[in-house]
Structure 1
């Protein structure tokens, strides 16, 4: 078992996906390369797209059309994924929103379940409309999103308010993105609310980390706020926000930037490159959560022409292989992880990987498997084994009533199978 020292890539290490596509002559050249463009391209362009793609967050037009055609034809695994969606009570067009002015996560008066349940309902209804064409679902999704856009004025609580601002910021924006072209959806109101209510918290956290040591907070705190800034940037066609998120992914000071989230790299006994995840010594529920948060960032950037999936020699893929391998019941290497805590940066260390919540199921693996294995034809042994052990993937409401079951929007089998 060999360990590879971490390194910081230069901006010239790899080509940008967008730049490579332009140099090669666009989509036709990409197709001529047999889908290997992304395998060759690792770095992202330093600027936001000159032309924004909508829908262009977790799902693009091709994803939606493929799901629509396959479900209509009754073809698996898409049909099984669709059946998971329609069986979920959140996807019912009769869902009644519970929009409120102030959302509290952490401390007294917590009510954030109102928001994450309604976001799940908006997203699932939007998917049913996009894939199944049912107007009632579109109308329901629009009602939910419009109500929250018009009502929500603050997200507060203890430090956990930054988890709320991150998780529900990027998820709300993704539901809005699916409804972009629906006449009764108030896009402008959603854009304004996200920019005024969510972004200031997202930006504050990545900039100040709640006035704590920059390494005090786990990777997921950075990741969800980074994802929110990226999603808001896309929805609002705001280049500065988009660039802020991508830059932080590459070189941010906190634990969510790629080199900090994956601090150690190895080659396992079977010859696979794997990378230790920052939260591996904490528990496995949060490491799997990290696969979903970083995966969402990579997928959203991909659909705007940037390949973060492959940045720094596919460092994220190595982490996903590591997390999947361990949660499948296999041994993985572990290097003592030390970080600074509190305001004084007092050091703590974890000397062994944690087995707490090992094997926890979350709907994060389809996105990763179908990117690495099908889009760019790589051997993703552990990721694929994990995905097929839990497929078909559901979404919020299928993985328990607590907030962890809503940290991912889900339905990857329906939307990513290729």
Structure 2
């Protein structure tokens, strides 16, 4: 199944970044997801769901060194009773969620025990924990036949299906783990329910179910696809994320954009607990796709990031704008409306923030002040069992402080730090620097510009002004323009930082016109072909200094 053309991007090599030391590995330029989808022979990566081997190398080194906050995150994991190697599974043949005879807590406790023991084995190498995780997974795959109940059975299939697949992905090569039997369980017990929900929505109006219902089942199909090496299932989840008709597709889950880099989540008028659950599922889907080389985090102008900022801001006690939300319910699509953001469960803590913060702030170098503040508030993040005994406390696998902390990635070959703001002063006219006159780039009173990894090449960089406009070239003239979502814009706005004419200075080389550099001529900024002259080197050299 080929995906429709979009601006989603492929990272052709693993996205993990080392922290000890903090370096960015070689990453080739990104291409649209349609190109990724057409590359059918490419194998899915393993481990390649929420975590890669590069992640575990980074985490294990940091824990051994006692580096914070990794060490605190490790201690949080070790303190959780489900992470003990003495945990014994209690598998069921029939799991019931919703209605009479509910017994599904046995499932979610064992899922989290398998995952937490798998983490301890991956990070410490302790065989006792590997054996415990393997035995839990084998016990369930040898016993479970059915997940049932009322409509909540679809929640069980989605949430625990994606979590089970993540635990199993960490154990896929472990001695004695019955991989094939576990695959059969995922494909015959969990996947059919998730697939049926996204197709039929339990016979209800397409908008009847909240975004979380779609999101957890999308996550399950994506995770099962990767674990089972089923590319079509992975692509199905990606296609639904981008183009699905239900409330879980990204533009339905985040239907309204607001000024100030904010975007309203579909459940914001319902309550804040489910809203945070939805953000966690969006982050998990995006992270699993990222580890397979696909950037869903950046879809539609970083839509997920804008929703995270909105939710964090409101739950930190500040006001947010709210657009009335109208939807259809039941089987007849009876109209309902929400007119205000909900204060129910406002300020709740869930372990969803470290993943979002470290991707946007440290992988991508973007400013996310509210997401950052909430990540700091919930730090150190725990997992299942640390947030109460009810099912909501097990909606996220958690332990984000341990698992998703990463250092800020350098941009421009290491010459420029990412995620910081600098002014770029001309070396031969030091009272002036990169600035804007309307939309045009000029040499004038130097404007503060935020350095972010280049959207067309993470080894490159982009410069963003206070209005969110990118420095880009068009017809070889430098301009400050808003991101229009095209691949051409991404390339026009991406530069490679090269050493300048003096120590501590840089030159900005175009990524799509190699050999052309940003330079000033008569106080205007141009993208000119390099000349081997002292005058050109001076005109194209800038000194980044603290704004």
Scaled by the length of structure 1, what TM-score is found? 0.91
**Matched residue, 2:124:** 132
Q: Which runs of 5+ in 2 are unaligned?
A: 407-547
Q: By how many angstroms is 1:185 displaced?
A: 1.1
Q: By how many angstroms is 1:11 displaced?
A: 5.1
- Confirm or deny that 1:369 pairs with 2:369: no
Q: Which of the numbers 222, 231, 234 marks the counterpart of 2:226? A: 234
Cα distance change on mapping 1:40 and 1:328 into 2, 3 Å: farther
Deviations 1:61-105 (A, max 9, x none): 111111111111111100000000000000000001100100000
Q: Secondary structure at the match of 1:388?
A: helix
**Matched residue, 2:378:** 390
- Confirm or deny that 1:60 pairs with 2:48: no
Greater RCO (CA < 8 Å, at least 6 residues apart) = 1
Q: By how many angstroms is 1:41 displaced?
A: 7.0
Q: Distance in 2 between matches of 1:306 and 1:227?
A: 15
Q: Which of the numbers 234, 254, 260 marks the counterpart of 2:246? A: 254
- Confirm or deny that 1:46 pairs with 2:37: yes
**Matched residue, 1:17:** 10
Q: Distance in 1 between matches of 2:25 and 2:307?
A: 23
Q: Distance in 2 between matches of 1:142 and 1:289?
A: 28
Q: Which has the larger radius of gyration?
A: 2
- Confirm or deny that 1:153 pairs with 2:145: yes
Deviations 1:268-295 (A, max 9, x none): 3xxxx11100000000000000011111
Deviations 1:140-174 (A, max 9, x none): 00000000011000000000000000000000000
- Check conservation: 1:42, 1:310, Cα contact below 8 A: no
Cα distance change on mapping 1:43 and 1:313 into 2, 3 Å: farther
Cα distance change on mapping 1:43 and 1:275 into 2, 3 Å: farther
Deviates more, 1:211-220 or 1:318-327: 318-327
Deviates more, 1:34-43 or 1:160-169: 34-43
Deviations 1:152-206 (A, max 9, x none): 0000000000000000000000000011121111111111100000000000000
Cα distance change on mapping 1:225 and 1:139 into 2, 3 Å: same
Q: By how many angstroms is 1:43 displaced?
A: 5.3
Q: Which of the numbers 179, 184, 191 marks the counterpart of 2:176? A: 184
Q: Distance in 1 between matches of 2:29 and 2:369?
A: 17
Q: By how many angstroms is 1:257 displaced?
A: 0.2
Scaled by the length of structure 2, what TM-score is found? 0.70
- Confirm or deny that 1:174 pairs with 2:162: no
Q: Secondary structure at the match of 1:291?
A: helix
Q: Secondary structure at the match of 1:46?
A: helix
Q: By how many angstroms is 1:38 displaced?
A: 10
- Check conservation: 2:14, 2:291, Cα contact below 8 A: no
Q: Distance in 2 between matches of 1:56 and 1:34?
A: 19
Q: By how many angstroms is 1:46 displaced?
A: 3.3
More helix by share: 1
- Confirm or deny that 1:79 pairs with 2:67: no
The alignment of Structure 1 onto Structure 2 pairs a total of residues equal to 397
More strand by share: 2
Cα distance change on mapping 1:93 and 1:263 into 2, 3 Å: same
Q: Secondary structure at the match of 2:295?
A: coil
